[in-house]
C-alpha cells in the first residue's frame, strides 16, 4: 500500500503520552483474547464500555498529551493512521458531494494506550478499535495492529513493533480497520446508527444481534466504497493489498473467532457477521463504489 508523502490529517488526537493507563498491564495476547471474548459473547459496546469503566476505575486516566519523545515506530504509527484518516476525509468529501449532494463532516481519531475515556465511557485497548457515536470519534490503540500480525496472522506474522514498515506487510489490512470505523461515523451522520439503536430496544436479544450484524456489514461495505474511490484518487493499492483486506475480514468474522475461541459457533450470538459475509460486503462496496449498494438492512445477507 502506497501511503507515504501524502497529507496527514489534523483530526488526530494523540493521547499516548506517558504510555497511558495500563489497566493491569494488558499484553498483546491478552488484548486479542479479550477482543475475541467480546465478539463471542456478543456484548453490546455501550454495556461493555460501562463494565470496563467499573473494572478500571482505579486506573490512571489516559487523558494525556502526545508522546514527548516518540520512537521512530511510534511516530510512523501516527503518520500512517493520520494519512489513512486524511484519505477518508478527502475521499468521503468527494463521494458525499457526488452521490448524496451533501457535505461530509469528518470524525476525530484518538490514539491511546491501554485505557481511554470516551463519550461512551471508559474503554480498554482490549476492546479493539471502536467508534463512539456520542462524541463522533474513532479510538485506536495501535498495539491492536501488532496483535493483528502476531497473534491473528493478519497481513503477515512478522515479529514487529507497533507499525514497523520493514516489509510493508499488512498496511492495507490496518487501513481497512480504520475505514470500517469511519464507516460507523458515516452511519451516525446519516442517522442510521440512531435508527438501529431504537430498533434494538424494541426487539429480542437475538433480533438485536441480527440488526447489529447488518450494521457491521454495512460498515464493511462502506470501507469498500472508500477503497474504490481512494484508489481512483491516489492509486494507493498495490499487488496483494486486497487479499490482505480479505484475510482481515475473514479472520474477524464471528464464526471464525468463535471457532477459534471455543471450537464451535453460535449463530444467534453473532454481532458482526460471518467471515464470508464480511468479505462479501467489503467486495460489494469495492466493486461498485456506490453507497446505495450498501443497504444491508434490505438485502439478503
- Whole-angstrom distance, CA of residue 27 vs CA of residue 223: 29
Return the number of other C-beta atoms located less than 10 Å from residue 103's C-beta.
9
Q: Specify the pTM.
A: 0.80
290 vs 83, 156, 266, CA distance in Å?
23, 31, 32
In a domain, 199, yes or no: yes
- Host domain of residue 155: 12-298
In a domain, 6, yes or no: no
In a domain, 4, yes or no: no
In a domain, 147, yes or no: yes
In a domain, 3, yes or no: no
In a domain, 167, yes or no: yes
Question: How far is CA 40 from its chain centroid?
Answer: 17
In a domain, 21, yes or no: yes
Instruction: Write the DSSP assignment of the chain as a string of letters.
Output: ---TTS---S-EEEE-GGG---TTT--HHHHHHHHHHHHHHT--HHHHHHHHHHHTTTSPP------SS--HHHHHHHHHHHHHHHHHHHHHHHHIIIIISS---PPEEEEESSEEEETTEEEEGGG-SEEETTTTEEEE-THHHHHHHHTT-TT------TT--SS-TTHHHHHHHHHHHHHHHHHHHTTHHHHHHHHHTTS-HHHHHHHHHHHHHHHHHHHHHHHHHHHHHH----TTHHHHHHHHHHHTSHHHHHHHHHSS--GGG-SS--HHHHHHHHHHHHHH--GGGG-GGGS--
Please tell me the total count of domains within the chain.
1
- Specify whether the CB–CB gap between 6 and 83 falls below 8 A: yes
pLDDT tens string, the chain, 301 residues long: the values are 999 989 999 999 999 874 444 333 334 444 444 454 444 444 444 444 444 444 333 333 334 456 667 778 878 888 999 999 999 999 999 999 999 999 999 999 999 988 999 999 998 887 889 999 999 999 999 888 877 766 555 554 433 334 433 334 478 989 999 999 999 999 999 999 999 999 999 999 999 999 999 999 999 999 999 999 999 999 999 988 998 888 888 888 889 888 888 898 999 999 999 999 999 999 999 999 999 999 999 998 8
In a domain, 77, yes or no: yes
Amino acid at each position: 500500500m502506497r501511503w507515504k508523502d501524502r497529507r496527514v490529517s489534523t483530526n488526530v488526537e494523540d493521547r499516548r503520552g506517558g504510555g497511558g493507563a495500563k489497566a493491569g498491564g494488558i499484553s498483546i495476547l491478552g488484548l486479542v483474547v479479550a477482543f475475541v471474548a467480546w465478539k463471542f459473547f456478543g456484548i453490546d459496546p455501550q454495556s461493555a464500555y460501562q463494565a470496563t469503566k467499573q473494572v478500571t476505575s482505579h486506573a490512571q486516566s489516559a487523558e494525556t498529551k502526545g508522546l514527548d519523545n516518540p520512537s521512530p515506530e511510534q511516530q510512523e504509527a501516527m503518520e500512517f493512521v493520520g494519512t489513512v484518516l486524511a484519505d477518508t476525509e478527502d475521499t468521503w468529501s468527494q463521494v458525499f458531494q457526488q452521490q448524496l449532494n451533501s457535505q461530509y463532516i469528518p470524525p476525530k481519531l484518538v490514539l491511546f494506550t491501554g485505557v481511554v475515556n470516551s463519550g461512551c465511557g471508559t474503554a480498554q485497548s482490549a476492546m479493539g478499535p471502536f467508534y463512539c457515536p456520542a462524541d463522533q470519534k474513532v479510538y485506536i490503540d495501535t498495539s491492536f495492529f501488532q496483535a493483528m500480525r502476531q497473534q491473528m496472522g493478519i497481513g503477515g506474522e512478522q515479529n514487529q513493533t507497533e507499525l514497523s514498515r520493514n516489509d510493508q506487510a499488512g498496511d492495507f489490512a490496518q487501513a481497512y480497520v480504520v475505514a470500517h470505523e469511519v464507516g460507523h461515523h458515516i452511519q451516525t451522520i446519516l442517522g442510521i446508527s440512531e435508527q438501529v439503536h431504537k430498533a434494538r430496544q424494541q426487539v429480542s436479544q437475538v433480533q438485536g444481534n441480527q440488526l447489529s450484524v447488518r450494521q457491521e456489514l454495512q460498515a464493511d461495505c462502506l470501507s469498500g466504497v472508500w477503497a474504490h474511490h481512494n484508489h481512483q484518487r491516489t492509486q494507493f493499492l498495490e499487488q496483494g493489498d486486497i487479499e490482505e483486506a480479505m484475510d482481515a475480514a475473514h479472520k474477524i468474522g464471528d464464526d471464525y473467532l468463535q471457532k477459534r475461541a471455543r471450537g464451535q459457533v453460535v449463530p444467534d450470538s453473532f454481532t458482526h457477521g460471518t467471515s464470508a459475509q464480511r468479505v462479501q460486503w467489503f467486495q460489494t462496496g469495492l466493486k461498485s463504489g456506490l453507497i446505495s449498494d450498501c443497504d444491508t438492512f434490505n438485502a439478503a445477507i
